[in-house]
Structure 1
Amino acid sequence: MARKVRAAQRGTWFPLLLLGVLTLGGILVDRFTFKVETVACPAGEAAAGSACTLVTQGSAVYWPLGLALAYAATACFYIRRSRNRGVGTRVRPYVLTGIVLVGLSSATAVWSLRHGMPQLGERLDFWGLQLDPTSGVTKFLERLAGNAMAVGLPLLVLAWVERSRALLLLAVVYLPIELVPLTTGWAGIPFTSPWSALPTFGVPGVLLLLGALGFGLAELSGRRNAS
């Protein structure tokens, strides 16, 4: 009986579908906000008076707003499903964790940019810590404060809520993908290309969509067997 109730409560494919579409949408957002500038190189990195290439892309509102809407839509989906099937839903921990972590991730970004975009060579202010932007620790913290925290950690909570080992495995695979930098070299895309975000968002986005497809097919198969 407990297994049947948990199966009726599950709707894992829906949040994975939303997160996958949102992640792939980040490719287009970065494509259309892409900008290349030629600026003076910071002291010590090149000869005096030489020029460096600065690439900027991304939207300050896309991820916070998109993730918040995704978690709100997930809550509505689970509540409606629980009413239609006459079983309770335990999705609240997942939704609350996601919204809190999205807020924390956004606050981290706002703190880092409160004095404007750091200039090339300037130290990055990470909650009062003046970090070298070129160091591995700084880059790891930036990735951790991004989708690894706002998407990966809530997926672990959802795996616990739904008692799903398959979702736990997907989350365990997803987190290293977000935490390990995906360079564009293997894809043959230069960092000055408007499509340079393709590997960064394409790999985790496809993983989430494949997960949504797998869970959706499993749910459909379960319904057919039950009928």
Structure 2
Amino acid sequence: MTRRVRATQRGSWLPLLLLGVLTLGGILVSRLTFSVRTVTCPPIHSSSDTIASCVITKQGSPLYWTLGLLLAYAATAFFYIRSSRNRGVGTPVRPYVLAGIVLVALAAATEFWTLRHLTPGLPVDFWGLHLDPGSGAATFLGRFTGAAASVGLPLLVLAWVERSRALLLFALAYLALQLVPVTASWAGLGPLSPWSALPRLLVSGVFLLLGALGFALAQLPRRRGES
């Protein structure tokens, strides 16, 4: 009986679908918000007489991702609650939605903080940690505070509350995908290309949509059995 109730409560295909569509939409947002500008870098202590120029690229919209993710979590909560009422069972979605909202807020605050305190040619100010922009720690934290934290970690929470091993493996694979550097060079694009975000977002979006399709197909036999 417990297994049947848990199977009935599951609906992970919908959040994966919403997150996949949101990720693919980020491709167009990244293209439309892409800009390149050249500024004068701060003088280096070892060669203070040398004036260097720094190229700064801006791409993506923190507002798009913050609002989009919050709407996705709100839609997921509405779907789970409505489904639970129709089927007469409880819903385990609350920890997932709360975790998602909290982590989205933290990720957004981190990104705004970093952008506000970013000075070309100087270490990245990451909540008081002054990191070399080219260091592995800065690169890792930059990836982790993005979709890995705001999407991957909540998926781990959803896998826990749904007691779904398949979703757990999917969430771990998604986290690994976010932490692996899928760069523009994979598609033959340079870092100054307006489509430089295409490979990373396309791979992540398709991965989420394929996951949504797989979990939806796996749930069809249970729905037919209920009917």
- What is the alpha-carbon distance in structure 2 between the residues aligned to residue 59 and residue 151 of structure 1? 17
Tell me which residue corresponds to 1:204. Answer: 204
1:98-122: per-residue Cα shift (whole Å, max 9, x none)? Answer: 111111111212222334xx23212
Tell me which residue corresponds to 2:60. Answer: 58
- What is the alpha-carbon distance in structure 2 between the residues aligned to residue 103 and residue 186 of structure 1? 31
- What is the alpha-carbon distance in structure 2 between the residues aligned to residue 189 and residue 110 of structure 1? 27
Q: 1:107 to 1:197 in 2, by over 3 A?
A: same
**Following TM superposition, by how much is the alpha carbon of 1:220 offset from its aligned partner in structure 2, in angstroms?**
1.5
Q: 1:124 to 1:31 in 2, by over 3 A?
A: same
Tell me which residue corresponds to 2:94. Answer: 92
- What is the alpha-carbon distance in structure 1 between the residues aligned to residue 97 and residue 54 of structure 2? 43
- What is the alpha-carbon distance in structure 2 between the residues aligned to residue 124 and residue 156 of structure 1? 29
1:127 is aligned to 2:127: yes
Runs of 4+ in structure 1 off by over 4 angstroms are: 41-44, 46-52
**Structure 2 residue identity aligned to 1:26:** G
SS of 2:224's partner is helix
Root-mean-square deviation (CA, aligned residues, Å) is 2.0
**Following TM superposition, by how much is the alpha carbon of 1:54 offset from its aligned partner in structure 2, in angstroms?**
2.6
Mapping 1:163-182, distance limit 5 Å: 163-182=163-182
Identity %: 66
Moved more, 138-147 or 32-41: 32-41
- What is the alpha-carbon distance in structure 2 between the residues aligned to residue 27 and residue 122 of structure 1? 29
Moved more, 101-110 or 14-23: 101-110
Tell me which residue corresponds to 2:191. Answer: 191
- What is the alpha-carbon distance in structure 1 between the residues aligned to residue 15 and residue 183 of structure 2? 27
> Is the Cα contact below 8 Å between 2:84 and 2:90 reproduced in 1?
yes
**Structure 2 residue identity aligned to 1:83:** R
Tell me which residue corresponds to 1:7. Answer: 7
TM-score between the two structures when normalised by the length of structure 1: 0.92
1:153-184: per-residue Cα shift (whole Å, max 9, x none)? Answer: 00001011111111111111110111122111
Moved more, 121-130 or 91-100: 121-130
**Following TM superposition, by how much is the alpha carbon of 1:38 offset from its aligned partner in structure 2, in angstroms?**
3.1
- Paired residues in the alignment total 225
TM-score between the two structures when normalised by the length of structure 2: 0.92
**Structure 2 residue identity aligned to 1:95:** V
